[in-house]
Structure 1
Amino acid sequence: MNPEVFREYDVRGIVDRDLNPDFVYLLGLAIGTYALRHNVRQMTLGRDCRLSSEAYHDIVGRGIRATGVDIIDIGLCATPMLYFSIRHFQADGGIMITGSHNPPDFNGFKICIGPDTIYGEEIQELRRIIESSSFATGEGSARQEDITRVYQDYLFRRVDIKEGLKVVLDGGNGVGGFFALPLLRRYGCRVTELYCDPDGRFPNHFPDPTIPENLRELVRLVRDKKADAGIAYDGDADRIGVITDRGDILWGDELLLLFARDILKRNPHAAIIGEVKCSQKLYDDIARNNGRAIMWKAGHSLIKGKMKEENALLAGEMSGHIFFADRYFGYDDAIYASLRLLELLSGTGMKLSELLADVPRTFTTPEIRVDCPDRIKFRVVDAVREYFLNIPGLIAIDGVRIPFIDGWGLVRASNTQPVLVLRFEAATEERLAVIRKGMEDVLDGILKAFARSV
């Protein structure tokens, strides 16, 4: 067993090498045992379209049932459909087999106890159960259910979209397009579809809407078709990418800003949560529109926990996870988010590009990833924090975000990879370059000092 498959938010590794059939069965036993310790007797089970997912789905389900936990098998689904199934069937938990946005040779397991995904030490407990071989035994039952129509009907009844919107939908050969396409057509949208057939080989492009290269064909079609919007999903449809009518990419914080404005019209003073990588424009705009802006740690499990704590109506991440507690359940559902976007568009009568025209322009970098071994990455961030400690307004909730008069810079350690994540924003390109160089020089010096000490 490779202990590194037990990550911060899921169990994830390379197909066959890390996730061989014997390990997946043991993982099923561990999940069932952990579930029973938390009074979970029945779990829903779903999978994405990766080539290994069906086999893993069968094996892990067998392991879970061998502990005495009952399974409701919903088969092929999007991750938000798995979350929905827990609520619909009033199950005690759920398991989703998905590689999400990771490379094709990866797969993984998201585990819910109650309606929420487990993370951190809870996932490490699964490892400890396997290491000790302290498995429960029993004979759980299994039944198959198709949640598709129930899920689509639920969304259709709760979101109002006027007929006639022109939409280009890129499913990236993941599962999202397959389930969203009939729903959009049911609304009367004129949909141009791209790669909406699930295909775990991902033959056209990889389903990660945070990478501009993956959106190139979507951008072209939006312009060619003069569409109102382009929509892209990641492999399991918990993250969304959006293209405006002009063919520009809307990043997660810009999308969150749009949704926040809409929600605050009906719910003044509502709490809206962004993560540390989000633009300062987002937080300023929420405050200007009588909202309570909260900056929090990156990570979907952490965001969902903070939403409950603050009773927030909306949250989001740069990666395209958008969490609606306004008229919805508070989890990240890219299909639902796309419907809310189209509802907003059809309700205003404005073009998507016009809705953000009044937002001040700033200059930002994309996420910059710097290789850094897991064993030192958090200590490196601590050293960066120590260096800038006397700067007023320093934010240290997740890494270190340094405010300047006309911008900011961020250094944080990834929770899932051996990298540091950097991002910078400024009022001008010149200041962006200055802020970036200054902080990168500091980081470079700290990394060299760590290298000398090894």
Structure 2
Amino acid sequence: MSSARMTSSGSRISMEGSMTGADFPQHIFRAYDIRGTYETEVTDSISFAIGWAFGRMIRERVETSSPLVSVGMDARLHSPALKDAFMAGLHLAGCRIMDLGLCPSPLTYYSAFKLGPDAFAMITASHNPPEDNGFKLGIGRDTIHSEDMQLLGRMARSAPPFAPAEVTPEVEEIDIISLYVEEIVGRFTDLPEILTDIGRPVKIVIDSGNGTAGPVLPEIMRRLGFEIVEMFSEPDGRFPNHHPDPTLPEAMEALREAIRAAGADVGVALDGDADRIGLLDENGNVIWGDMLLLILARDIIEAAGGRGGDEHPLIISEVKASQVLYDEVEKYGGSALMWKTGHSLIKAKMKETGAALAGEVSGHLFFADRYYGYDDGLYAAVRLAEVYARSLASGKITSFSQLLDGVPKVFNTPEIRIPCPETEKTRIISRVAEALARHKKDNEKPAVRRIVDIDGVRAVFDGGWGLVRFSNTQPVLVMRFEARDQPLLDSYQSFFRHILAEVTERSP
């Protein structure tokens, strides 16, 4: 393979001894990935143990004596050390290794389809603070989650310790970025002509947030014919300019100013590992992930024939998404399904149901339509830019914000995150569910018409809804609210905060 070369990792391993379980951080093994603070929860030794356990799990699942694993990493300062330790563990477990180097998480997923490894791994803590790190893992083309993630943690307890020895893993280095860029550009060969027909430059500001998107997305967009203004493209795991999370208002301020200064059509921001997208329209207003999903869903439904067509593409979203999304998808001729939050959980549901598209408020957007079925913030940016360019060229719109013309106006909040100890999260949500059930039974105001409990608790009122769930990636509870007017929105928030205060006061 022309894009690969062989090298030896600098990591060396010991084949003696075993890990003790007393202080093993089982709590870092979450619902769909592994995350914790480097040096206290996620150490080089733990990384080695996870690599060893993952290698053993792969060998059991794929029934081959020497499985091949692709491994990528994000820009965090400790990711190289964790990657080396992880690969050493894989090697001891009998695996062969393809080293993808620094790249976005979606490119690690892409490697599973393009290069055909038996498994894949990404060293990343996504949008978490710089001191955190972790792992996203998959076997075949599917990410592991839930019970498999917990099983992996138990297996890692019995790994040998990580210490110097005379064994060094040999790896094959792959230039996955070049492979990905060429494929994505090749999928949109009509875009340059469409942009020429518009008769003016289409200007996009890209804020890579010093994460992994910088070496990838600006090049793709320029080659497709967009005029690009780059921000914070240099990978820097300290994230010196802002936190790598486009759902945080303060993380979008620099992008907002850049859009205004450049007179840009739109601005996009990526999180630390580029699997999530944030977007501001030409006026600097946030368009949340559920509304980005609606823009894409309309395009896919229209291509399938719309309301009068024989096909009704299935669109999946999550419990934090606006009711407007579900209503509009059905109105335009699609089918809508509400599911649990979490990239692995949604990918599995897409595969189970044959859904064309899925997305979360946080900016995870998943494409089976014309793509591989996983979440990819880079590809999402291109698809959204394509929808915008086609709409401009057809004369339907003159600005990005007009893509949502006709969508009912509601009032909603961003994600509201409340610190909560990991050990308390499940119990608190359970008590909130009990309190809401009593409230509904007693017909108290505000009247709760329905309770959705597939992921946390979503209470549906006459004029909107409120949600509280626990995060699977951070020690926080997450709330979101929606209503037909601001006073109702405020009242739903007050109601939920009152219930939270009551259940936490009763905590032991």
- Choose from 315, 318, 333 the match for 1:272: 315
State whether residues 87 and 169 of structure 2, in contact with CA within 8 Å, keep that contact through their aligned partners in structure 1.
Answer: no
Tell me, which stretches of 5 or more residues in structure 1 are unaligned? none
How far off its partner does 1:152 sit? 0.9
- When residues 61 and 292 of structure 1 are mapped into structure 2, their CA distance, relative to the original with a 3 A threshold, is same
- When residues 279 and 26 of structure 1 are mapped into structure 2, their CA distance, relative to the original with a 3 A threshold, is same
Partner of 1:448: 505
In 2: Cα distance, 1:148 partner to 1:418 partner: 33
State whether residues 247 and 414 of structure 2, in contact with CA within 8 Å, keep that contact through their aligned partners in structure 1.
Answer: no
Aligned pair 1:381/2:381, yes or no? no
More relative contact order in 1 or in 2 (CA 8 Å, sep 6+)?
A: 2
Aligned pair 1:432/2:480, yes or no? no
Partner of 1:63: 89
- Choose from 410, 415, 420 the match for 2:472: 415
Aligned pair 1:109/2:135, yes or no? yes
- Choose from 368, 371, 386 the match for 2:416: 368
Query: CA RMSD of the aligned region, Å?
Result: 1.8
Partner of 2:145: 119
In 2: Cα distance, 1:346 partner to 1:310 partner: 31
> Counterpart of 2:355 in structure 1: which amino acid?
A
Q: Return the TM-score normalized by structure 2.
A: 0.85
> Counterpart of 2:121 in structure 1: which amino acid?
I
Give the secondary structure class of the aligned counterpart of 1:388. Answer: helix
State whether residues 208 and 235 of structure 1, in contact with CA within 8 Å, keep that contact through their aligned partners in structure 2.
Answer: yes
Give the secondary structure class of the aligned counterpart of 1:203. Answer: coil
Give the secondary structure class of the aligned counterpart of 1:108. Answer: strand
How far off its partner does 1:292 sit? 0.7
How far off its partner does 1:139 sit? 9.5
State whether residues 45 and 96 of structure 1, in contact with CA within 8 Å, keep that contact through their aligned partners in structure 2.
Answer: yes
State whether residues 69 and 141 of structure 1, in contact with CA within 8 Å, keep that contact through their aligned partners in structure 2.
Answer: no
> Counterpart of 2:339 in structure 1: which amino acid?
W
Partner of 2:178: 149
- Choose from 261, 275, 279 the match for 1:238: 275
- Choose from 69, 77, 81 the match for 1:43: 69
Give the secondary structure class of the aligned counterpart of 1:254. Answer: helix
1:33-65 deviations in Å (ceiling 9; x for gaps): 111111261111111111111122122112201
> Counterpart of 1:279 in structure 2: which amino acid?
S
In 1: Cα distance, 2:203 partner to 2:146 partner: 42
State whether residues 46 and 96 of structure 1, in contact with CA within 8 Å, keep that contact through their aligned partners in structure 2.
Answer: yes
> Which entry has the higher C-alpha Rg, 1 or 2?
2
Give the secondary structure class of the aligned counterpart of 1:421. Answer: strand
- Choose from 215, 218, 227 the match for 2:264: 227
Partner of 2:294: 257
- Choose from 207, 212, 215 the match for 2:249: 212
- Choose from 345, 350, 353 the match for 2:388: 345
Partner of 1:286: 329
What fraction of aligned residue pairs are identical, expressed as a percent? 44
1:325-380 deviations in Å (ceiling 9; x for gaps): 11001111111000001100110112111111211211112222233443443233
Partner of 1:176: 213
In 2: Cα distance, 1:75 partner to 1:133 partner: 25
How far off its partner does 1:28 sit? 1.7
Tell me, which stretches of 5 or more residues in structure 2 are unaligned? 1-23, 162-166, 196-200, 305-310, 442-447
Mean CA deviation greater in 213-222 or 390-399: 390-399
Partner of 2:47: 24
State whether residues 69 and 140 of structure 1, in contact with CA within 8 Å, keep that contact through their aligned partners in structure 2.
Answer: no
In 2: Cα distance, 1:58 partner to 1:133 partner: 16
How far off its partner does 1:3 sit? 2.2
> Counterpart of 2:364 in structure 1: which amino acid?
H
- Choose from 76, 79, 91 the match for 2:105: 79
- Choose from 399, 404, 423 the match for 2:456: 399
1:75-100 deviations in Å (ceiling 9; x for gaps): 11111111111111111111111121
How far off its partner does 1:410 sit? 1.0
